[in-house]
Amino acid sequence: MEIGATKAVQGRIKKTELETTGDTSLVFCWDTHLVKLKGRNVLLIVNASNRYAIAMTDIEVRNWNYYTLYIERVIRGIMQSMGYTPEQIQQYFKMSGEMVVTKTHGRKSVGGINRIVTCMEYYDKKLEKNTKYQWKLCEYLNGDICQPEGFDAYGYPPELFRLDMERIGLLPKRKPAKVIDLQAYKESTQ
């Protein structure tokens, strides 16, 4: 698994050399960015393939020292809250390989993070106190329709995350929806 770090995050983790991004599937790549919102530091953890965003606050110094372990725990916790079984989560991390800190995963991924930061400026609710996961902020950010790197159509990040999990085989593929051809329907009823 590749954890991309922006310059703001690199300053916190004090990592002098970052790995170069490899040929890892974007499903297993997460980019991180640190931003201020309402006077508090917010760590954004964004999937490079589907732009699913996680917003964290109150990051302690020890969490920066064990950055990859912290990110892994956060992603595991979010996947569990989304309804994935422990076996599915374990399989995801097994498929993703060893965790390495890299540079961010391309212009489109960084553009998605910039879009998220812009959306955060319009977030009018208060951040929850004494809470690491900012659930309401995450819901707000993941409610923004987008067309991230891993997709050729627009969608909402939670749905795109699910499609990614179907693509890699963690979830069974759903049957396609039946689409009614309106023109053929009109002709057959006349």
Q: Is the pLDDT of residue 77 over 90?
A: yes
Identify which has the larger pLDDT, 59 or 87: 87
Q: What is the pLDDT of residue 140?
A: 95
Write the CA distances from 139 to 116, 123, 157, 158, integer angstroms.
Answer: 12, 11, 10, 9
Report the distance separating Cα 2 and Cα 27, nearest Å.
Answer: 10
pTM: 0.86
Residue 16, token pair as written in the block: 């002098």
Q: What is the pLDDT of residue 14?
A: 77
Backbone angles phi, psi at 181, to 5 degrees: -80, 105
Contact present, 69 and 93 (Cβ < 8 Å): no
What one-letter code names the amino acid at 39? G
Report the distance separating Cα 40 and Cα 51, nearest Å.
Answer: 22
CA angle (6, 10, 13) in 5-degree steps: 135
- Tens of pLDDT, residue by residue over 24-62, are 899 999 999 999 998 889 999 999 999 999 999 988 888
What one-letter code names the amino acid at 54? I
Q: What is the pLDDT of residue 89?
A: 95
- Tens of pLDDT, residue by residue over 53-64, are 999 998 888 888
